[in-house]
Amino acid sequence: MPLNLTNSYSALGPAFSQQSLPTPVAKPSLLLWNQDLANELSIDFSAEKDSAAIAQYFSGNKLFSGSEPIAQAYSGHQFGHFNPQLGDGRAHLLGDLSDKQGQYWDVQLKGSGTSFFSRQGDGRCALGPALREYIMSEAMFALGVPTTRCLAVVATGEAVYREQALPGAVVTRIATSHIRVGTFQYFSARNDIDSLKKLTSYAIERHFPQLKGVEGEALSGEQIVDFFAAVIAKQVTLVVSWLRVGFIHGVMNTDNTAISGETIDYGPCAMMNHYHSDTVFSSIDRNARYAFGNQSKIMHWNMARLADCLLPLIDEDEDIASAKLAPLLQQFTDDFKQGYFIMMANKLGIAELEDTDHELINDFLGIMAEKKLDYSQSFVTLAENLSQEEVNKVITQVKSPAKGQSAQASADEAGQAQDKWQQWLKRWYIRISADVSGAKDLMAKTNPLVIPRNHHVEAILATSQASYQKNGDLSDLNNFLAVLQQPYTQLDDTHNYQDAPSDGDENYHTFCGT
């Protein structure tokens, strides 16, 4: 047996989940197997030797030793509107396993059939959304963004009926846990304080063991406050990472906000091409609630909803409890702003952020928005054209500053009649002139050469589904994945996926995929 699962979440009790077996599928066949991830998890399977067994286990037709599948309960604010009962309507948590470092991971099947929470859905997933989740999550992992990951995609041999009949698939998702803000909301809405305490203790044990208290003693109010601070720190890192690579989640509901700080749910997500903070592609986000530039504000809002749930665990007096969490919510805003500008400075090759860099960064973003420049290509092009010789040449063209006048001010004056871009370039060159080589190296580490661009993802999905149905061929998809898995390295095929869409993704829309 390649792995032996434990069931730490289901052990919390029936209030937290429903026992639910995956629905068997007719003819499972393995499409994608993440061997690197399997090795990290010490799963003794290989696609070459064990494809039939992998297909059986990761379709849900067979269960691993120790597995007690469940559908987890949770609530959630969906586009600002609270739904008190959501839950896993098409997913089954098979259990958890530990890796060589002792880190525990959830093993979850998605598209594996109905459960108590299905709400009249069929519990299935079409092949396209399954392949999209694999592509996007593995691309994000390679980009250095905190994320859930995909271990396998298995075709079911059955049709899924949406607007038309589509081939079905089951995705295996790996996460440090599937605890969401909505999980806390589920018990808060029911005023189930005992379960809230149990959930928080479990979350601390799983994600923040440094906050554990004495064995057997109840969590103190201060531990809950520290837990909230730790969750906030994870979310700040997450959103800053999204903005670094131009990722737009598209459905930042509280049930899609994992307290682990991992990206979860790749349904209507997309990548930004030409820069604009209002960019949104999700067809269900009609009011642009989750637009690119709103993501930090929404995450702050989601954290405020988590704070609402934790208040009764901190102090019986809600005002006292609120007073302890309010500064942390403010700290979220401050920490995000600082983290964001440090990240953007790094994208420009600036290792140590200074106050004046805020203006330099914002001006560059303004130029990109005005000229409709591609977000990823702009930083890559800056780095590719950066050289000590070019910097020296431009700086020498700036007339010597008058007494008491900075070189920066002189550059601004000299460029008043020039294009905004040329003015900005001179300012940037002056800023990084002390270490041009270091700036170039930092930019290469911070700015990916390739991202999973929307038009390439859609093209690969279309060709892969067609070729799979015709002859089982996924070579185009595998070539794409090979490039996405090394986004900071120029490979022979990298250039095939770097181009911006010819129409600027003007009419591009993403969908939930359910």
Q: Which residue segment(s) compose the domain that 255 sits in?
A: 182-211+219-347
* Residue 2 belongs to some domain of the structure: no
17-29: buried (b, 16+ CB within 10 Å) or exposed (e) per residue?
A: bbebbbbebeebb
Q: What's the CA gap between 129 and 134, in Å, rounded?
A: 9
* Residue 368 belongs to some domain of the structure: no
Q: What's the CA gap between 133 and 131, in Å, rounded?
A: 5
Of 330, 347, 364, which residue constitutes the final position of a domain?
347
Domain count within the chain: 2
* Residue 486 belongs to some domain of the structure: no
47 and 133, same domain (yes or no):
yes
Most distant CA pair in the chain, distance: 82
48 and 86, same domain (yes or no):
yes
168 and 191, same domain (yes or no):
no
* Residue 449 belongs to some domain of the structure: no
139 and 278, same domain (yes or no):
no
Of 314, 347, 380, which residue constitutes the final position of a domain?
347
Torsion of CA 25, 28, 31, 34, to 10 degrees: 80
CB count in 10 Å sphere of residue 146: 19
* Residue 502 belongs to some domain of the structure: no
* Residue 35 belongs to some domain of the structure: yes
Q: What pLDDT was estimated at residue 421?
A: 92
Instruction: Please give the average pLDDT of every successive group of 10 residues along the chain, which has 514 residues.
Output: 87 97 96 96 92 97 95 97 96 95 95 94 94 98 98 96 91 98 98 98 96 84 97 98 98 98 96 96 93 98 98 97 98 98 98 97 97 97 95 77 54 59 95 97 98 97 88 91 98 97 91 71
321 and 294, same domain (yes or no):
yes
> CA end-to-end span of the chain, whole Å?
32
40 and 161, same domain (yes or no):
yes
Q: What is the 3-state secondary structure (H, E, C) of 298-367?
A: HHHHHHHHHHHHHHHHHCCCHHHHHHHHHHHHHHHHHHHHHHHHHHHHHHCCCCCCCCCHHHHHHHHHHH
25 and 96, same domain (yes or no):
yes
Of 347, 365, 384, which residue constitutes the final position of a domain?
347
337 and 233, same domain (yes or no):
yes
For residues 126 and 81, is the Cβ–Cβ distance under 8 A?
no
* Residue 21 belongs to some domain of the structure: yes
Q: What pLDDT was estimated at residue 394?
A: 85
Q: What is the 3-state secondary structure (H, E, C) of 4-67?
A: ECECCCHHHCCCCEEECCCCCCCCCEEEEECHHHHHHCCCCCCHHHHHHHHHHHCCCCCCCECC
Which residues are identified as catalytic? 255
* Residue 335 belongs to some domain of the structure: yes
64 and 207, same domain (yes or no):
no
331 and 285, same domain (yes or no):
yes
151 and 247, same domain (yes or no):
no
Beta bridge partners of 105: 97
What pTM, to 2 d.p., does this model score?
0.94
149 and 260, same domain (yes or no):
no
Q: What's the CA gap between 200 and 213, in Å, rounded?
A: 12
Q: What pLDDT was estimated at residue 154?
A: 98
Q: What pLDDT was estimated at residue 386?
A: 95
